Chains A and B, each alone.
Chain A
Amino acid sequence: MARLTVEHVARIEGHGNITVNVESGEVREVRMDVVEPARFFESMVVGRRYDEAPLITSRICGICSPNHVVTSIKAIEAALGVEVSERTVMLRKLLVYGSYLQNHATHLYILAAPDYVGLPSVFPLAETMPEVVERALRLKKLGNDLTTAVGGRQVHPVSAVVGGFTSEPPREVLASYRDLLLGVVEDAMATVELFASFQVPDFQTSGEMLALTADDDYAIYDGDTKALDAGWRRPASEYRSFLDETVVGHSNAKHSTVGGRPLLVGSVARANINAHMLNETGRAALAKSGVTLVTRNPFHMNVLQAVELADASARCAGYVEKLLEMGGSSAPEPVAVRAGVGGSATEAPRGTLYHSYEIGADGVVLHGDVITPTAQNLANIEADMRAFAPTVADRDEPEFAVLIEELVRSYDPCLSCSVH
């Protein structure tokens, strides 16, 4: 028999409780109660001017706010028919990747790693393995600094607005990031090696996998949604036609399904679907990771986030190079207010994020809709716990608990996002 109740699971973003109850090999109960209170964002944007919506929805999440801002802005631009410059697109990609570097470093070192070294937090490692903590802080700091340079602040970017950017970093500041980014490739590789060295359970999820995909990039900023098993590829803006949301009693976050199946979004789905778009550094990192694609193991989310760190460091150095060469302007394009509906998606660190808005002829938001990555993952997290728990039910209690929590943390859940 194995029972587990964890209230306010530690080292995840937001408040959630886990209940697992296995009796003589049979699962009696599995629940992930998302007790994070709803803030009702979809109702809060109604009646606000279109340009205020990104400011408001950014506050859904403090960890991936650049994603919320950029996704919201893109959806509004789609509704209003605003085309932005190539320079603006490139800067937005850097902004989103800044949050990747920051998030992946935080998730891997501060939230996930303590499980694998048997510590309550990463802080004691500052004494025993200072080089690991210093590496974590270097990666995190670079992500923060990049986000700040491009967006004006680490959390809740300031300068990204509908149509472009209100200000840009000076050329010499931008140029300095080329070397800073290339400088952390080694740290990212060491992160891959560290996480490849951690033993993870051999477990297969049964969920569908969805990620954005694009023909010209490892899709983060834009693209179509692709389903790994079903094989289809559809415009991300039509997400309501393939994602179904259900209200469940034990969670303030709704659960999502695709074609009636739970689904997984995040680094495993992205790597499975888009590995061919990884750059040279990313491919080298993947080779070091010990993961063979296609993988259905959700515990591989960690090491594949580390692979993305390596890919992103080199990729962003390339974006900086292009920005220095390309010229052009990121000043906000003029907006002609009109009635319209628009939807958009980006890949947030923990999976695909969708926003859509209906805007009235006076520029006021009539309807807003957001589906976050963790909301998409929740049904699958429960399905995974249900399938995984009996396989480790014979372990002693603390080990059972750590394994279940490790599984949940692999998804890098953001419960504030999931409820919003």
Chain B
Amino acid sequence: MAPRVVVLSLASDFGCQVQLSNMTDEILDVLGLIDLSYWQLASSGHMPDAYDVAIVEGAVTTDEHVALLESVRATAGVVIAIGACANTGGIPGLANLLDLDERYGVVYGDGDGPRVAAGRRAPMPLDSVIAVDYHVPGCPIDPPEFLRVLSRVLLGLKNRVPDLTMCASCKINETVCFFDRGELCLGLVTRAGCGARCPSLNRPCTGCRGIAPDANLVAARAISIASGRPEGALDDALRIYNTAKEVRG
């Protein structure tokens, strides 16, 4: 029997779900292999009581999200976290840098604000609440990588996330290092797997895939300073995608 799959989103821009819908060459084949039971973005219908695989996008930012994730974990055999928000807290995680009430005031002013915004929490990745079985990092996800992970899920193979840093990809691509031109690039410490898309388009890595497990941050800071960047520049740039992880420790 084809696994029953649900696609869910927490606080996000829906960009990773858009990437799922963007797999125009593969989507019909994928749909032939799974039983797509719930996908609010693409289909009417209610969230079923039973399902096998949950694909979750977005950061945890409300008490409702926590309750939803707990029920997802209790129901699904497999949870796949897709995108930076779900994996590192991503850009919503930047909100951890200021007091939440203060941020609320910047957006909604001094009045009461919306009632529906109650129960808000500091933005965090999924694994702050539940165990996650498979990870597809990136902002947004790369469809080929998602398909590789989905294949592993369908075949029952273990989660496997590349743990090299982006520098390895740039070497393969023969991309000239940004540090040689005095530009800061987060590829030095960021998890590989996207083929170093941004550096190959002449833009330094912004760290959307999260910090690689073996990243040498001490050496990276020294390289950043040696290339003429001010002290703290590397850590400050890393905060765009990694604040929630940094705050959680």
Contact = CB atoms under 8 A, between A and B. Distances in A.
B95 interface: yes
Interface string B30-46: 01000010011111110
Interface stretch (B13-21, B155-163, B209-217): B13-21
Interface in A74-106: 102, 106
B193 interface: no
Q: Is the interface of B mostly helix, strand, loop or mixed?
A: mixed
A258 interface: no
Contacts of B90: 59
A138 to B, nearest CB: 8
Contact of B98 (A15, A43, A140): A43
A35 B123 CA distance: 16
Contact of A61 (B13, B40, B139): B13
A13 interface: yes
A141 B24 contact: yes
Contacts, number: 179
A294 interface: no
B25 interface: yes
A33 B116 contact: yes
Contacts of B137: none
A15 B206 CA distance: 29
B1 interface: no
How many interface residues does chain A have, given as a range?
Answer: 35 or more
A120 B28 contact: no
B103 interface: yes
Q: Is the interface of A mostly helix, strand, loop or mixed?
A: loop
B128 interface: no
Interface string A101-116: 0100010001100100
A43 B95 contact: yes
Given A14-B14, A44-B95, A62-B16, A249 B201 contact: no
Interface string A37-72: 111101110111000100110011111010000000
A329 interface: no
A120 B197 CA distance: 36
Interface stretch (B70-78, B104-112, B145-153, B164-172): B104-112
Contact of B22 (A59, A155, A249, A254): A155
Contact of A156 (B15, B24, B40, B240): B15
B201 A156 contact: no
Contacts of A102: 22
A137 interface: yes
Contact of B106 (A39, A43, A59): A43
B19 A37 contact: no
A121 B203 contact: no
Interface string A140-181: 110010000000111110110100001100000000000000
Contacts of B17: 62
Contacts of A167: 201-203
Contact of A120 (B44, B97, B112, B201): B44
Contacts of B218: none
A338 to B, nearest CB: 20
A126 interface: yes
A248 interface: yes
B248 interface: no
Contacts of B103: 40, 43-44
A59 B43 contact: no
A153 B203 CA distance: 13
B187 interface: no
Contact of A56 (B28, B91, B102, B202): B91
A133 B31 CA distance: 13
Contacts of A59: 13, 15, 90-91, 139
B66 interface: no
Most buried by B among A63, A110, A114, A138: A63
Given A35-B116, A159-B203, A251-B114, 14 more contacts: A8-B40, A10-B41, A46-B106, A48-B240, A55-B240, A59-B90, A62-B17, A121-B39, A144-B24, A153-B197, A154-B18, A154-B22, A158-B203, A167-B202
26 contacts: A10-B41, A13-B14, A15-B9, A34-B116, A37-B10, A37-B65, A37-B120, A42-B107, A48-B240, A55-B240, A56-B91, A56-B94, A61-B13, A106-B18, A106-B21, A114-B44, A137-B27, A138-B24, A154-B22, A156-B15, A158-B203, A167-B201, A247-B111, A250-B116, A251-B116, A252-B114
Interface of A: 8, 10-15, 33-40, 42-44, 46-48, 52, 55-56, 59-63, 65, 102, 106, 110-111, 114, 120-123, 126, 133, 137-138, 140-141, 144, 152-156, 158-159, 161, 166-167, 247-252, 254, 416-417
